[in-house]
Amino acid sequence: MLVSVIDVLRAMENDAVVPCFQPIVELRTGRLAGFEILARWQHPEHGLILPENFISLAEENGLIGELSYQILSKAFLASPLLPEPLFLAVNVSPIQLHYLSLPRQMRDTAEDYGFPLKQLTVEITESALVNNLERARKIALELKEMGCQLALDDFRTGYSSLRHLQALPFDKLKIDRTFVQSMASKNESRKIVAAVVGLGYSLDMTTVAEGVETEEQADSLLWLGCEFGQGWLFGRPLPADSIPDMIVTAPRTLPARFSALAGSIAVAGMDALPTQRLAQMQAIYDGAPVGLCFLDKNLRYISLNQRLADMNGAPVAAHVGRTVNEMIPELFPTVEPYLRRALNGEVIPKVEALRPAGKQGQPERTMLASYQPVLDEAGDVIGISLAVLDVTGL
C-alpha cells in the first residue's frame, strides 16, 4: 500500500495508530514473560497496516517522536491489564537516539500513566548505533539509571556487533530472526545461534529469539539454551483488549524431545544453560564407575574421564585430540567395526572384547563396551559416546 506523509499525519490526528502486543515466552516453561509493543495503523478501509508502510515516512518528516509518544501512551494506558512480573518491550527509532531528551520523555510518559519503568525494556537496533555510539551510550546509561532494561535488537555476529555489545550496558540480546528461521536448513545459522546464546550467557545477558514460527525452531532454541522466544508460534501481535485472553492462555507444552529427555535423565539441567549443564555432566562423568569418553567423527578423543584413561594406561591430557588407533593400537582392529556402525547411527550395547596384555606386565582383561551415536539438535551424528566396563573375573 502506498501512503504519503499527509496520510500518516492524518492517521496520527485521528488517533488511528495503535499499539499491538506480541507475546514473549519463556522457552523452557512456555509461560508468558511479557509483550513487545508493535505499532499498527488502524485504517478504516485496509485494516491494520504494518509499520514498514509508515514508520520511515514518520522518521523522514520529523513525526517519529510524536508517533512514538502516542504508541507508548496507549500501551501504558493498558498497563493495568499487565500484572507483575510481565514486562513491556518497546523499540526506539534510530532517529530518537539522536535526542538526549528521550529518557526524560519516556520517564514522564510512564509517570503520567503510572507504569513502573522496571517493567520496561527498551530495544535498540544495531543500526541506531552506527556513527552515534557516544550519544547512544549517554541515553542508554540514563535509561538504565531510571530502572529500564536494555536489549540489543537484531544482534548479528560481526565486529561492529561485538563493539556495540561491549560499549553499552545491555541486559538482553535479541537473536536476529533471519538466523532463527534458517536454523533447520542451514547448519551455519544453527551454529551462529548457539554462539550468540553462549555469548549472552557468558556476559550475563538474557537471550531472546525473534521470528519463532515452528515447533522445530523452538525445540532447537531450547536445546541450545536460549531463554525466551517471540514469534507467531506463541502468538501474533494483538490489540490491548486481547491482553487478558493472552495472559490466561495455557502455557505451551515442553517439546516432545525434552519431555523424553526429562523422563530419562534426572538432572536440573532443564533449568540450566549450556555451561551449567556442562559442569553438571562433568561431575557425573568424573564420578562414574565406568570408563567414559566422547569421540568425534574422526575417532579422536574429545573428552574422557579418569577411569578410562587409567584403563588405557595414559593420562587424560595425552588422549585429547588423538585417535583411538593411536591410544590403543592393540585393540583398535577389534573395536573399529563397532565405532563405524555407531557413526552410521546404530546403538550397540554391551559388546564383550578381550584386551591383550599390555606393557609392564599388565594382564589380559575382559572389557564390556557400549557404543552410542551422539546427535546434534538437527539429528545429525556428530560423534560417539563410549562406555567401557572392566568385567574381568565377573
Mind telling me the catalytic residues? Answer: 210
CA angle 295, 299, 304 (to 5 degrees): 30
| CA-based nearest residue to 295, from 260, 330, 336 | 336
Q: Is 16 helix (H, G, I), strand (E, B) or coil?
A: coil
Q: How many helices (H) and strands (E) does the chain have?
A: 16, 15
| CA-based nearest residue to 35, from 239, 253, 177, 271 | 239
Q: Which three cell numbers stand for residue 275?
A: 555451561
**C-beta of residue 230 within 8 angstroms of C-beta of residue 36:** yes
**C-beta of residue 284 within 8 angstroms of C-beta of residue 305:** no
For residue 381, give every residue at least 6 positions away whose Cβ sits within 8 Å of its Cβ, in sequence order, or none: 297, 343, 344, 345, 373, 374, 375
Give the torsion sign (CA, 192, 34, 27, 181): negative
Q: Is 374 helix (H, G, I), strand (E, B) or coil?
A: strand
For residue 274, is the peptide bond before it cis, meaning its omega torsion is within 30 degrees of 0? no
Q: Which three cell numbers stand for residue 226?
A: 536460549
